[in-house]
């Protein structure tokens, strides 16, 4: 057990820097504690079911996280977990965890993820829950996948929630010269990807770090500043573990993201195809909530907002939060933007 003083106690005698140096010796706090049941497994992917404490809504929530990171951020700790908030609020939750692809998964493309994993996962969730409709919620690249899926889905998607989801890749301002070289074909990494079959987790991590913050010092200074606050330290460590816990990206998916989304921006142009079927965003007929973050450096609003112009559904809402890409705090109940929007669209059980 930690010897650190809790914030409520008498101020500790030990200086903060000593607490700070002691942190690596402390056991890692547990993560992902909300009770769950495995419903379905396909290759490395797992469909988890988080049963609601007391079911209040007939429409379950199906969560799709990004391909390059683990969904642990959705269930960091009791009291700071989006999944726990849904469950406490009376929603049945299903989470599709794509797992960590290996060498043998190098040929899994975005099309495969959408049809074989997401579509089949949604069918399983519908069958398991006995529900006649479902809410699909996607995060970051998982949101892009959710939007594409919703555009081709035959399943009854009642609500679609897209959280910090890149849609218009032409609006990306990062490394514009690199983008030009990729677009014009003077830089090409396809053959290299073919050798390794996946983009290794470390390459994904440092690639994201390069776009956002190549020098990564301020989180450690924040930790030093509050090193004597046990709760803060534990939350910091959990978040830091997630930040460093990238997963490899399958080669075919990486190539498709680069070509179809980054270079040709097909999704916004209505030319993205999933196994020959056009995925037009205007075909989405679910109620849609699009969420952006004001201080998001990875997916700025310019990459998100264009979906609002593409959607033709009657019920569409755009919400901007005062937060960064992933730095959201949950307090045991649903955040207000979800509480105001989702329950009334989820068939409350009388």
Binding residues for another protein (CB under 8 A): 11, 15-16, 41-43, 102-104, 116, 120, 123, 127, 174-178, 180-182, 186-189, 191-192, 195, 197, 210, 213-218, 221-222, 224-225
Shortest distance, position 194 Cβ to another protein, whole Å: 8
Q: CB of 308: closest distance to another protein in angstroms?
A: 29
- In terms of CB distance, is 163 or 197 closer to another protein? 197
Min dist. Cβ of residue 284 to another protein (A): 26
Measured from the CB atom, is 88 or 171 closer to another protein?
Answer: 171
* Closer residue to another protein, CB minimum distance, 92 or 228: 228
Integer Cα distance of 24 and 200 in angstroms = 26
d(CA 210, CA 171): 18
> Which of 28/210 has CB closer to another protein?
210
Name the token pair of 55.
């079911």
Identity of the residue, 54 or 220, whose beta carbon is nearer to another protein in the bound complex: 220
Side-chain half-sphere CA neighbours of 101 within 13 A: 26
**Residue number with CB closer to another protein (84 or 111):** 111
Contact 335, 85 (CB under 8 A): yes
CB of 103 to another protein, least distance (A): 5
Judged by beta carbon, residue 189 or residue 348, the one nearer another protein is 189
Cβ distance 299 to 140 under 8 Å? Answer: yes
> Mapped to the 3 state alphabet, what secondary structure does the chain carry?
CCCCCCCCCCCCCCCHHHHHHHHHHCCCCCCCCCCCEEEEEECCEEEEEECCCCCCECCCEEEECCCCECHHHHEEECCEEHHHHHHHHCCCEEEEECCCCCHHHCCCCHHHHHHHHHHHHHHHHHHHHCCCCEEEEEECHHHHHHHHHHHHCCCCEEEEEEECCCCCHHHCCCCHHHHHHHHHCCCCCHHHHHHHCEECHHHHHHHHHHHHCCCCCHHHHHHHHCCCCHHHHHHHHHHHHHHCCECCEEHHHHHHHHHHHHHCCHHHHCCCEECCEECCHHHCCCEEEEEEECCCCCCCHHHHCHHHHHCCCCCEEEEEECCCCCCCCCCCCCCHHHHCCCHHHCCECC
Give 110 or 286: the residue with its C-beta nearer to another protein. Answer: 110
Least separation in angstroms between CB 131 and another protein? 15
Closest approach of another protein to the CB of residue 43, in Å: 5
Q: Closest approach of Cβ 169 to another protein, in Å?
A: 17
Between 218 and 350, name the residue whose CB sits nearer to another protein: 218
CB of 128 to another protein, least distance (A): 10
Query: In angstroms, what is the minimal distance from the CB of 225 to another protein?
Result: 4
């Amino acid at each position: 057990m930690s010897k650190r003083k809790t914030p409520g106690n008498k101020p500790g005698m030990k200086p903060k820097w000593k607490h700070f140096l002691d942190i690596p010796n402390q056991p890692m706090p547990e993560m992902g504690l909300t009770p769950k049941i495995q419903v379905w497994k396909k290759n490395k992917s797992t469909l988890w079911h988080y049963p609601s404490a007391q079911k209040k809504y007939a429409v379950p929530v199906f969560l799709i996280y990004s391909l390059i990171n683990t969904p642990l951020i959705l269930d960091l700790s009791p009291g700071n977990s989006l999944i726990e908030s849904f469950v406490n609020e009376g929603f049945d939750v299903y989470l599709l965890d794509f797992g960590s692809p290996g060498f043998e998964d190098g040929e899994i493309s975005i099309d495969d993820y959408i049809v074989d994993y997401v579509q089949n996962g949604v069918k399983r969730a519908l069958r398991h829950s006995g529900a006649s409709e479902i809410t699909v919620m996607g995060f970051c690249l998982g949101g892009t996948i959710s939007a594409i899926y919703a555009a081709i889905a035959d399943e009854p998607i009642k609500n679609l929630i897209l959280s910090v989801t890149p849609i218009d890749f032409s609006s990306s301002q990062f490394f514009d010269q690199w983008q030009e070289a990729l677009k014009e074909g003077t830089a090409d990494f396809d053959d290299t990807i073919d050798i390794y079959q996946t983009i290794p987790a470390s390459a994904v991590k440092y690639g994201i770090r390069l776009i956002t913050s190549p020098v990564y010092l301020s989180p450690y200074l924040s930790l030093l500043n509050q090193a004597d606050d046990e709760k803060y330290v534990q939350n910091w460590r959990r978040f830091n573990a997630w930040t460093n816990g990238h997963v490899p990206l399958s080669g075919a998916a990486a190539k498709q993201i680069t070509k179809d989304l980054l270079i040709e921006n097909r999704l916004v142009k209505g030319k993205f195809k999933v196994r020959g079927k056009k995925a037009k965003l205007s075909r989405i007929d679910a109620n849609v909530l699009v969420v952006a973050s004001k201080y998001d450096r990875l997916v700025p609003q310019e990459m998100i907002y264009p979906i609002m112009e593409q959607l033709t559904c009657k019920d569409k809402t755009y919400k901007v939060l005062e937060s960064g890409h992933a730095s959201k705090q949950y307090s045991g109940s649903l955040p207000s933007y979800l509480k105001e929007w989702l329950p009334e669209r989820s068939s409350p059980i009388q």
